């Protein structure tokens, strides 16, 4: 059974451990997110932390900011725990929390490189659609005259009606 909890400062070591398990490292990241009052959800299965995501009610992306749309960010599930419904459970809880705050829509972004193919397919399966404004780089509109690296910051921004 998948269990979710809202992270507190005492969960910071667990979050870094999860991040390391996904091959990522970013000192100070989770402390910064908690200071910004992001809601960080941690998923556990059989007592083991297996994933997390953040729900940001003050996103950087201009369209979401203008329309007061919260954004699900940094959804991650450990590789060995994938294909078990964990990401779906986390997304569903984020949607529920946004609805409780009276929001009519929720956003999510997905990088465009091949390694995010499963996430791209999942978000569409869960009802997310591109927002119609093309792609972004670090949440900023891209220019046709500029070349962008196909890294984690080159994203398609997506929306879902709640």
Domain covering 2-161 assigned CATH 3.30.750.24 in the classification? no
**Residue 107 neighbours by CB under 8 Å, 6+ apart:** 59, 61, 64, 69, 70, 71, 72, 131, 157, 158, 159, 160
Residue 24 confidence (pLDDT): 87
**161 CB-contact burial (10 Å; exposed 0-12 / middle 13-18 / buried 19+):** exposed
Residue 100 confidence (pLDDT): 98
Residue 148 confidence (pLDDT): 93
The rounded average pLDDT for each run of 10 residues, N- to C-terminus, in the chain (162 residues) is 96 94 89 94 96 97 97 96 97 98 98 94 98 95 92 96 98
Name the CA radius of gyration of the chain, rounded: 15
Residue 134 confidence (pLDDT): 92
Q: DSSP letters of 119-156?
A: HHHHHHHTT-EEEEEEEEETTEE--TTS----STTEEE
Residue 25 confidence (pLDDT): 85
Residue 11 confidence (pLDDT): 96
């Amino acid at each position: 059974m998948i269990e979710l909890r809202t992270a507190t400062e005492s969960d910071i070591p667990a979050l870094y451990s999860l991040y390391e398990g996904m091959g990522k490292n970013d000192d100070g990241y989770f402390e910064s997110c908690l200071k910004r009052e992001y809601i960080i959800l941690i998923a556990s299965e059989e007592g083991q932390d297996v994933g997390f995501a953040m729900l940001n009610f003050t996103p950087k992306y201009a369209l979401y900011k203008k329309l007061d749309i919260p954004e699900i960010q940094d959804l991650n599930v450990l590789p060995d725990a994938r294909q078990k419904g964990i990401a779906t459970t986390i997304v569903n809880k984020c949607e529920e929390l946004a609805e409780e705050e009276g929001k009519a829509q929720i956003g999510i972004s997905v990088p465009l490189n091949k390694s995010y193919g499963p996430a791209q397919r999942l978000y569409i399966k869960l009802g997310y659609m591109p927002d119609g404004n093309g792609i972004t780089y670090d949440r900023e509109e891209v220019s046709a005259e500029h070349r962008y690296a196909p890294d984690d910051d080159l994203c398609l921004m997506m929306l879902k009606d709640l």
